[in-house]
Chain A
């Protein structure tokens, strides 16, 4: 058997089990740790597809920065309260949850089954990327030459979000009269 196939089986199994653990575990911190595992195995899957740059970024950004902040916030805000149990909730809530889950599953299945016809194979095959001089080079060529305006626009959007957050946080403080 091909070792890439074995690695694919290992990483996808970890990803699926990890996602189940995210939902099923009682304490929020354990869920967050399971989500880290899921992200890590995603990056393994990306690396198997030959997208090393995306794999590195997946770990660097999602696993290394965003999830650390998640865990950080969970720990700061009362860490050991178990998440609410479905058994205690009302019948209406259970029904809505079930419908939502089935709808989401349906969307995912439809997307997975029909993606071959809609998306097809892109321009950037593995040969093309190698010809352009590797993942990193081809991404940066596209990002900083062809789409540099869009890229800068997105950075402005993020800057706006940061400014808005700071403004909101400041206003709350001045209302309550406390210092952070």
Chain B
């Protein structure tokens, strides 16, 4: 139990310095620049310097803020973000912190708490830009949560379970095979529309570009974390990267088979299955974990890629897109999935 919590927490916390590096160098790569490449090989140690800077900077709150809520807000953002990973199996179904009956509903309910941190930050900062940022954020979060929830209803109907472990196990089966190549029963092949809807709304839920209107620096300077500095600001950043990781983990668990082997991994696992049960179990667990991490990492790169490629939406465009395009599509997806299940196709 504590070992699993330890693995997940260390993993989630170490994502931030890694992603800082990937984000900087990745943006430079996409925009044909060099990026920070001086300190350490390829600029790898730059993130360490950044963390040190955040820690040693003076932690001061401006005079006009509500001190209690101002200090509470970063915590309210970070803690739910870290808690959501508890129901995601990360290396075989034994490696899950809490195998809850409600499964993915837990993820959604805890993730919906994160918005309070942003609202608190904006309100306690006592600054009109911050307040506007947090108002935008609460409107955006509520709107896109609907699509996020509805987009996986189809998957729940197909897999007949809300437990993520059951879903991943079901995705290990073969959907069909062409010329000796088995196509696995991954969620993306069963619910392509659901995948796109979930992907788009998870961008909105994690406040990443093209949906980062709560901080939109062109209009709101920095939005809800305008008055924050040093470690408190770093906590907001941490929360953003952690919720990005959780979103990537959910995307790979729901639609890309979670800890199921990537193509080729079953061959490596076969090499080590020489009869010793302990070794076989260890190797397969390790390979499951590596597969899951690779899937998460590719989605994280996708998040970075999109951020530095697409421009920001306008707020009315965001709302129209959420309510008039994504929500009807999600409802239609649920209806069509139900019809296909009723007809016996799925």
Contacts and interface: CB of A to CB of B under 8 A. Distances in A.
Contacts of A43: 109
Interface in A19-77: 29-30, 33, 36, 40, 43, 52-53, 55-57, 59-60, 63-65, 68-69, 71-72, 75-76
Nearest to B107: A56
B120 A33 contact: yes
B113 A64 contact: yes
Nearest to A59: B109
A79 interface: yes
A79 B128 CA distance: 12
Interface string B72-108: 0000000000000000000000000000111001101
Contacts of A33: 69, 116, 120
B209 interface: no
A12 interface: no
Contacts of B113: 40, 59, 63-64
A109 interface: no
Contacts, number: 72
Interface residues of B, number: 25
Interface in A113-141: 134-136
B131 A68 contact: no
Contacts of A136: 101-102, 162
Interface in A130-178: 134-136
Given A56-B105, A75-B131, A68 B100 contact: no
A135 B161 CA distance: 12
B135 interface: yes
B105 A60 contact: yes
A148 to B, nearest CB: 14
Contacts of B134: 75
A53 B135 contact: no
B131 A65 contact: no
B341 interface: no
A29 B125 CA distance: 13
B109 A60 contact: yes
Contacts of B227: none
A52 B141 CA distance: 24
Interface in B161-192: 162
Contact of A64 (B69, B112, B123): B112
Nearest to B122: A75
B138 interface: yes
Nearest to A133: B101
Contacts of B142: 65, 68-69
A136 to B, nearest CB: 6
Interface string B134-164: 1100110110010000000000000000100
A63 B80 CA distance: 13
Contact of A68 (B69, B105, B110, B115): B115
Given A29-B123, A59-B109, A36 B102 contact: no
A74 B231 CA distance: 30
B119 interface: yes
Contacts of A59: 109-110, 112-113
Nearest to B149: A60
Instruction: Give the residue among B100, B106, B109, B138 with the most A Cβ atoms within 10 A.
Output: B109
Contacts of B120: 33
A36 B120 CA distance: 12
Interface string A69-94: 10110011001000000000000000
A79 B123 contact: yes
Contacts of A57: 105, 109
A52 B109 contact: no
Interface in B197-212: none
Contacts of B112: 59-60, 63-65, 68
B64 to A, nearest CB: 12
A75 B106 contact: no
Instruction: Give the residue among B119, B141, B162 with the most A Cβ atoms within 10 A.
Output: B119
The 3 closest A-B CB pairs, nearest first, are A64-B112, A59-B109, A60-B109
Given A72-B139, A79-B131, 6 more contacts: A36-B116, A55-B102, A57-B109, A64-B108, A64-B145, A75-B131
15 contacts: A30-B69, A36-B116, A40-B113, A55-B102, A56-B108, A59-B109, A59-B112, A60-B109, A63-B113, A64-B113, A64-B145, A68-B115, A68-B141, A72-B139, A75-B134
